[in-house]
Structure 1
Amino acid sequence: MAATIKDVAKMAGVAVSTVSYALNNSPKISEETRRKVVKAAEALSYRPSGAARNLKKRKSETIGLFLNDLGGPFYSQVIEGVQEVVASHDYNLIVCSTYGGENSSANRFLREKFVDGAIIMGSAIPDSLILQVAAESFPIVVLDRELKADYVHSVLIMNEQGAYDAVKHLIKLGRRKIEFLSGPLAAYDNSKRYEGYKRALKEHNLPVPAKISMQGRYLEAGGYQAVKVMLAGNRLPDAIFAANDEMAIGAIRALREGGVRVPEDIAVVGFDNISLGPFVRPTLTTIGHSKYEMGAIATQLVFNVQKDENSIMLPTQLVIRQSCGFKQQNDDQDETSILHEGRRGLG
């Protein structure tokens, strides 16, 4: 296994930040300390590719956007927001999938600092790697994920409040047996949406299921299969709150194939307000937020990592369509919204 900056710091008997300063010829570090760090780095065959570029006063002028999945309708708007800000700084953008785990291109680009800054969405890149690289004064912003470190910025969605609004809306429509269709159990956004779901049920004195019984991994096919299993077990709720729209769309297809009417028998609400929502039948009630804004703000933070505000919270809004019981009155006015304000932009 290749040596890390922490290994160098341990051998040299200094802090990780001191190694970074020494390898970048910072005037903050004495010549004696610099020699000690360089000697340890050479002994461990440590190859600080990013530091070497900085020593030569060269940059890649490229920002990396690292996503769990490059497919699906969700990411295109995030990429658009990132691209616009990157272009305004005359930089290039590279988008990588984290598929492949430790050996993925995204992990390698981050570890070797082949880019000048990184925006990360998803949990496939471990916290330990993000914290290690960010500690080397490398700008990193995470999307819809929290890391307890002052030197890692985050852009968050009001996941818990949005989910609460979705379930409260179903309750107002008379739904009482509401199932949660979960994404990846360990995902930050999924856990927050689950908390909002439970809060709404508890506040209205409705029973909270003892465990999550449906999981769709944020995929349309996953939502479809989860609801197929539910129908086979003759376990019929009167509403489903899906943790994202793709699973909700898969759920509607499974219900329709099973002879279950939406919304008459079972109402369905999603989360994310993806572009397909108004085109499925029935049209999908969901929780909206600005994916473009998320990408744009994250990129602004990459270029301004000294910003005092460590995290930005973006608002959500309830978008009411047909899948939970309201009939559209006008195709041009199908999005009735309830907006919950977060911190928008960098002020």
Structure 2
Amino acid sequence: MATIKDVAKLAGVALSTASYALSGDHRVSANTREKVLEAARQLNYHKNGFAMDLKRSRTNTIALILADLSGPFYSELIRSVQEVALSNGYDLIACSSMGERDSTAVRFLREKRVDGAVVLAYNMTDEVLHASAGPNFPIIAMDRVISGEGLVSIIVDGESGGYEATRYLINKGHRKVAYISGPSNSFANSLRYQGFLRAMKEAGLEEQAKWRLSGGFIRDGGYKATKMMLMQGELPTAIFYGNDEMAIGGLKAFEEGGIRVPEDISIIGFDDIELTEFIQPPLTTIRQPMYESGSLAGHLLFQMLNGESVNESYKLNVQIIERQSVSAPANSNSSV
């Protein structure tokens, strides 16, 4: 990889002159600047943004790192963190952790391209966060329990939410209850599943292996998992989808299969994204305070940047939102 020394040598100028020319400094004549820029083009030289950042005490930028930038779930989080950043005179960069170790997000953390970060990405390892965080580089980790210098964790009480969702279905009279899960390596999914199992055990019910399916927390995943359930020929009387997007995908699959919600099967989701009020039927769900958790994460990050002390971890409560996708089970059997 070419260096600025290589550029200076090819252009026949001093190292300092090459640096001034590449930075657009007015002290360099137009002719000399063009020679330096031409040498840089020939060598395919690019300025090292990390080295430039090291010369500044602050970038006045924070990062929001998400597993996926698409989908309605993240919009409230992005909006809330952005509002906090702007109120503090900072810019916000939102980036995806897709690609894991090779992702742009990992480079942003390791190379300190920003002043701190809010991370909600189940596919980013604790190892990366521990290696990146420090007294001068705070990281707020959402939906995971992690501790260390420069690290604060925020979790939503997903176990309680999973329990409440399942208990709600059981209290309506359902005994054949399934859980459509998110990614197996998602901490949030793990908590919701634990809550589901606790409620089932408490009611003397067992999860049936034939209904143990994953939808990956995406709409198409929920659709495909529900289609698979339909193909098996026997349905539960109720399904707890690990998030609303999967439940919306499930609704589409049931509509295509001629299965009515909630007359033939009841469903409940998790998150309370905006769309759940407007689909048919409106979705009963567990509301997690996404806007509030994002706002909290942003405020904590700036408190740490300002040298203020904060707690190591925070837990936020959830609540059930009753709409029209759950009813008592039908008297007839649930075979398709």
Shorter-chain TM-score bucket reads 0.7 to 0.9
Partner of 2:217: 218
> Which residue of the partner structure matches residue 296 of structure 2?
297
Q: CA deviation at 1:274?
A: 0.3
Tell me how far 1:124 sits from its aligned partner. 2.2
Q: Find the aligned partners of 2:128 and 2:50 in 1 and give their Cα distance.
A: 15
CA distance in 2, matches of 1:310, 1:136: 13
Residues 188-236 of structure 1: CA distance to partner in whole angstroms, max 9, x if unpaired? 0000000000111111111233587210000111000001011101131
Tell me the CA shift for residue 67 of structure 1: 0.6
Q: Where does structure 2 lack aligned partners over 5 or more consecutive residues?
A: 1-47, 329-336
- Say if 1:177 and 1:187 are closer, same or farther in 2 by CA, change over 3 A: same
Deviation at 1:289, TM superposition (A): 1.7
| Farther off after superposition, 107-116 or 145-154 | 145-154
Q: Is the 8 A contact 1:163 1:194 kept in 2?
A: yes
1:127-276 alignment to 2 at 5 Å? 127-135=126-134, 137-149=136-148, 151-210=150-209, 213-276=212-275
Identity %: 44
- Counting matched residue pairs gives 278
1: distance between equivalents of 2:153 and 2:165?
24
How far apart, CA to CA, are the structure 1 residues paired with 2:51 and 2:191? Answer: 37
With normalisation by structure 2, the TM-score equals 0.79
Moved >4 Å (runs of 4+): 48-54
Q: Which residue of 2 aligns with 1:309?
A: 311
Query: 2:64 maps to which residue?
Result: 65
Instruction: Give the CA deviation at 1:166.
Output: 0.7
1:141-174: CA deviations, max 9, x gaps? 0111111435310111010001111111111111
Contact residue 49 and residue 113 of structure 1 kept, 8 A? no
Q: CA RMSD in A?
A: 1.9
Residues 16-31 of structure 1 correspond to what in structure 2 (within 5 A)?
none
Secondary structure, counterpart of 2:248 in structure 1: helix
TM-score where L is the length of structure 1:
0.76
Other structure's SS at 1:147 match? coil
Shift of the 315–51 alpha-carbon distance from structure 1 to 2, 3 Å rule, reads farther
Residue matched to 1:324: 326
Deviations 1:258-316 (A, max 9, x none): 11111111100000000110111111000002211111110111112343411111110
Supply the distance in 2 between the matched residues of 1:145 and 1:122 (Cα, whole angstroms): 9
| SS across alignment from 2:92 | strand
User: Distance in 1 between the 2:211 and 2:49 partners?
Assistant: 45
Q: 2:119 & 2:182 partners in 1: Cα distance?
A: 19
Q: Is the 8 A contact 1:301 1:307 kept in 2?
A: no
1:11-70: per-residue Cα shift (whole Å, max 9, x none)?
Answer: xxxxxxxxxxxxxxxxxxxxxxxxxxxxxxxxxxxxx9879845x453110000011111
Aligned position for 2:88: 89
